[in-house]
Structure formats: C-alpha cells, structure tokens
Structure 1
Amino acid sequence: MSRFDSRSTTDEVLAGVDLRGKRILVTGVSAGLGVETARALAARGADVVGAARNLAKAEGATAAVRAAAAAIGSSFALIQLDLASLASVRAAADALVADGRPLDIVIANAGVMSPVLGRTADGFETQFGTNHLGHFTLVNRIAPLIRDGGRLVIVASGGHRFADVDLADPNFEAQPYDPWVAYGRSKTANILFAVEFDRRHKARAIRAAAVHPGAIATDLGRDVPPEQMAALFEQITAAAKASGEAPFEQKSIEQGAATSVWAAAVAEADAIGGRYCEDCQVGEIDDRDGIRPGVRPYALDPDSAKALWARSEDLVGERFR
C-alpha cells in the first residue's frame, strides 16, 4: 500500500529518490502537469526530454525545469511533437530513434479535453486522435528505446467513466458528437493502451500504467466554458455526498502530477503494471455511474485492450510488436 495519498505533492513523493543516470521523456511540457512532472524529475537528477507542440511556448514555460536541472547537474531538452499530426509524431519518434539514447521512463502526459467537434491532420476526431492515437503511435515507435525494466505512464482521467471506447465509430461519423463522451472514450483508450502495452512488454520487465491526476485547474480545460466546468464539479460533489464519500476537492498542480511520478519512479513495478492509479494508489474497480474514485471494469478489460490495439493499428496504418 502506498504511503502517499490525494494531498501528496511531487516533491513529497520523490523525497530521497535519486534519478541520476535515468533518461525520461515527458510529453506536454508547455503548461501545467507536464511542466511540473518534468521539473520534479529533473530536480532528482533525471535527464529529461520534454515534448511539446509549441516549442516557443514550452521554452518560456520550462524555465523552472531548466533551473532545477542546472542545480543538480541533470539536463533538460525539448523536442517538437504535435500529437494531432501523425507526420509530426513520426518525425519526433524518428529523431529519438536516430539519436539512439535509451529511455528509462516515458510519461505520456499531453492531451486535450472537451473541444468542439474537430479533426486531426489525419482526419481523426480530435480527442481520440490526439489523446490516444498520437501517443499510441509515438510510444510504439520508440518502444525499442525503452530499457529492460523501464516504465510507461499514460495520463488518463476519471473522465474515462463517461464512456467506453467505440471501435465501430471512433470518429463520430455515424452519431452525434458529444465532447464529454468523446473525452471519455479517449481516456478509456489511454487505460486500455496501458493494459495491452504492459502485456506485450512485461517479458522485458517493462511495465505500463495509466494514472488519473485528479481535477486540477490547468490549460487542459481551456476549451470548456466556465459554466460547464462548474456544473461538472457540482455533479461530482453531489455524487460524493450521496455516496457518503469524502467531499470533492480540486488539487494543486504539484498534487496532480504526484501520481505520475509515483507510478514512474516510486511504486513497485508489479503493483502498477497494467493497472489504473489515482491519488498515489492503485485504483479500485467501481462500476457505478458518475465521476467518482475508481476505475470502470471496461477500461481494464484485456480483450477490449487487444481489440483497441488492432483497431488503432488499422487507423494509423502501422503494425507494432
């Protein structure tokens, strides 16, 4: 059982942890959780590679990361990555492979939440294409770089509880678009990807986990009208009260990134492999409706995970081990 909880911060989780000699890739380092995740890891000696769509924005946002790296003698570098473009994803992966330096940990942190209906450069619904297919392609292309005993951490969400994946119509071509349903599907896909990646790679002792950071005020919510976000929080609060659970509280960015670094560098590998984690713990299965703690069974179903993998390969036009 983890000694940490929902209030733990990145610095508390990583206290006493020495990551010197570890090389870690973190996507989405232009704001919020990605920046804090990169800072906390660099401050413990890790050499961090940060990926971002907008390099100019990321350069400005990561001053604290560079300062943390300089203070301990680690390094921080940026690469360009637009997860909504498979050409950009492949270029980033090719550059990492050509560089050849191994990775100990990959943290797939970047994402979008609840935008209006849109399409990626390759014609996929924006959330499924960005949150799942972009990371699916990137991670699988760089999987040979991950050292034996390494880890993959995918930032999912309690929002997976909104919807299971729909492999027959992943791009909302035959049904009305609902931004929260689409978000839920993409986050369920994140968890299922972790399940299947873990199954495929644990022979090399590479373990994968999905994490829910909690509700945090970050740039992720930039597409959600304030009144919608307020209504969602009211719904979560009411559900917690009705169930006799602890009152809902938003987390700080330092608390929100804590589960990512816990799963990446602190938790026992066998405890988190193929699992869903939240509040620096392995999440319990809970099939009740509504946004609440726990993971719905459909997000951990191994057959669904295999089916999603095959469908994702078809969609991106590549086959992976």
Structure 2
Amino acid sequence: MASSFGATSTTDDVLQGIDLSGKRVLVTGVSAGLGIETARALVAHGADVVGAARDLAKAKRATSHVPAEAGKGGSFQLVELDLASLKSVRACAAALIAQGLPFDVVIANAGVMRTPFGHTEDGFETQFGTNHLGHFVFVNRIASLIAPGGRFVSVSSAGHRYSDVDLDDPGFERTPYDPMIAYGRSKTANILFAVEFDRRHKAQGVRATALHPGGIMTELGRHMQPGEIDALLAQVNAQQAAAGKPPYQLKTIQQGAATSVWAGFVGPADDVGGRYCENCHVSDVTEGPITAASEGVRPYALNAEHAKALWAKSEEMVGERF
C-alpha cells in the first residue's frame, strides 16, 4: 500500500479507505494552499484537526468549507500562530499545553519563500526565522503532546538543493543576500530539524520526517517576479526535451498535499523516520545533477552530525534549550 502512490496521487487517493476517527492532528499554515487541503482531507476522513495560522480572519474564510466536509466525527478548529514572532509561538504552545490534549501527528506546513531581505520580530532573517526557528521553538514546546506512535512531519522543499545551512552566518550579516539561497537554507534546516527530532524521540515511539510537496502554484510564490515562474518552467522543459522526456507538470494542490498525509499516516514509520520524502515515497540521496523535474535529497540535509549542530545553533539563537 505504501508504495502504490506517486506524483499524481491526491490526498483522497492516499487516504482512501483509511478511517482517522479519534486521531488528532495539528497543521500549521492553514490560511492558504497546501495547509487548507491537508486540513480538509484529514477532517474528511474523520480526524480532529487544529489548524494554526497567523491571520485568523483570513484562515477562517479560507477554511470555511472544511467543517462541512467532516466525516465520521471529524472536527476543525483554528488557533493563532505567527511563526515570525517567538512571543506568538510561545503563547500558542502554552495554550495547547494547558489544554493538555495529545496529537497523533503534527504537520509543520507553514512557510514563506524568496522574501526580500528582512527580519522577524526577534531579529532573525525572515526565511530562516519563520520557516525554521519559529517551527523549531513551537514543535519542541509541544513535543510532549505528541502521543507514542505519533509523528512530526516537516514540510521542506526541493529548494533545499540551493543551499546548505550556514551556521556561521545564518542572518546574512557577512554574506550577500540572495532570496533563493536564503530559502534553500531554511528548507535544508527543515529537513535537519526532522532528522535530529527523530533521533531524540524515536525511543519514545515518536518519529519525524521531512518532505517536498512538489511544484505547485500557491500563495507561497507571491514574492516571485512576474513571468519568473514561466521562465523557470521553460528552462526545465528545455532540459526535459533535451533528455527526451515529456514536459514537466506542476501538481494540483490536492496532489501537492498528498505527501504530507502519506508521510503522516501511510508510510511505514521505520521507512520515513529521519528521512526525506517526495511523491509519496522515501527519496534517494544523491550528489549528482538534479533538475526541477527529478527527485533526490542532498546528503548534507540528512547528515546526523550536521543536524545536531543546527539544533545547538538554533537553541543558542532562540535562547532556549530543548
């Protein structure tokens, strides 16, 4: 079953025949794109979903259809979480801890991409601070709520291939800022966080994995210049044509969210734990050339010692040990 899905599988394909009644799931970033679809699919299959978003009014509008699709007792509620503010992160985590209800799966889906140079409320470079450090503090603070047998799913990206993390200059204080390099660093950090979280928690029966959802048109690309996506697709398809392969197809949102629910509920825990997934399976490690249309995870993103070093640096940056 776990190996019968691929790039064109949808959330409902992956969850077909699966009853999630009684399962409790937290999904960040439910005000747009993949987060909305992830929440919808889980609720439709009976899960109780807590959706986190920075803008609750926007999230409420965006997810207005989700409760109506609830199946077999599924439910949906929203909580406020601004990953660019550690004050907000800690407040949201504290409220969930006070509630004391366990989660079977936590899906760190929220993120920003290719933003202009800037800083979070706490002074971190925007993409590293939001995509990595916000989730790092939030997930670690609620880690005790993840039930034995549960999972932490970190939504990364093939964008990790653009850059390894830079632990000496995470804020681009000495490095010229490049929005795609900054995005790549943050997405590599998402994978490394999952690797180390998995190492620390697997003895208690909690596993962690990271994934690439695929190329999808969502709000995530709002900072890209007009025509930039079309130019990238043209470049990719030229490479495809030269290799005698068919044109690259962007995924639908339903296909893009499929790997998140597959990694959370379908893929065997020992297969996905500490690994990187894409197209509803565990991806291979490769150092060779990778195009946007091909699969593969860079070895630096799964390096265990590298993951430990990032964890220590992250603790130093946020002023908190986990």
**TM-score range for the pair, normalised by the shorter chain length:** over 0.9
Q: 2:91 matched to which residue of 1?
A: 91
Alignment counterpart, residue 297 of structure 1, candidates 293, 299, 314? 299
Percent same amino acid among aligned pairs?
65
In structure 2, distance between residues paired with 1:85 and 1:145? 22
CA change 1:295–1:243 in 2 (3 A) is: farther
Alignment of structure 1 residues 1-321 onto 2, 5 Å: 2-69=3-70, 71-242=71-242, 247-289=247-289, 290-291=291-292, 292-320=294-322
- SS of the equivalent of 1:12 reads helix
C-alpha displacement of 1:265? 0.7
C-alpha displacement of 1:131? 0.4
C-alpha displacement of 1:305? 0.4
In structure 2, distance between residues paired with 1:181 and 1:34? 24
Task: Compute the RMSD of aligned alpha carbons.
Answer: 1.3
C-alpha displacement of 1:2? 1.1
In structure 2, distance between residues paired with 1:242 and 1:318? 50
C-alpha displacement of 1:235? 3.2
C-alpha displacement of 1:208? 0.5
1:266-288 CA-partner distances (Å, limit 9, x unpaired) = 11100100000000010111223
In structure 1, distance between residues paired with 2:244 and 2:183? 27
C-alpha displacement of 1:246? 5.5
Aligned partner of 1:66: which letter?
P
In structure 2, distance between residues paired with 1:156 and 1:246? 26
Aligned partner of 1:9: which letter?
T
Aligned partner of 1:38: which letter?
A
C-alpha displacement of 1:73? 2.3
In structure 2, distance between residues paired with 1:138 and 1:212? 21
C-alpha displacement of 1:204? 1.0
1:56-105 CA-partner distances (Å, limit 9, x unpaired) = 00000001211112x53221110000000000000000000000001110
In structure 1, distance between residues paired with 2:205 and 2:239? 39
In structure 2, distance between residues paired with 1:120 and 1:103? 28
Aligned partner of 1:44: which letter?
H
- SS of the equivalent of 1:115 reads coil
- SS of the equivalent of 1:78 reads strand
Task: Return the TM-score normalized by structure 2.
Answer: 0.96
1:149-184 CA-partner distances (Å, limit 9, x unpaired) = 100111000010000000000011111100000000
- SS of the equivalent of 2:237 reads helix
C-alpha displacement of 1:242? 4.7
1:203-248 CA-partner distances (Å, limit 9, x unpaired) = 0111111010001000111111132222222333344445556642
In structure 2, distance between residues paired with 1:242 and 1:194? 36
Provide structure 2 residue ranges, at least 5 long, that are not aligned to the other structure. none
Q: Does the 8 A contact of 2:21 with 2:72 survive in 1?
A: no
CA change 1:241–1:295 in 2 (3 A) is: farther
In structure 1, distance between residues paired with 2:226 and 2:288? 26
Aligned partner of 1:274: which letter?
G
Task: Return the TM-score normalized by structure 1.
Answer: 0.97
Provide structure 1 residue ranges, at least 5 long, that are not aligned to the other structure. none
Aligned partner of 2:281: which letter?
Q
C-alpha displacement of 1:300? 0.5
Aligned partner of 1:112: which letter?
V
1:10-30 CA-partner distances (Å, limit 9, x unpaired) = 001000001111110000000
Aligned length: 319
CA change 1:72–1:64 in 2 (3 A) is: farther
In structure 2, distance between residues paired with 1:260 and 1:82? 21
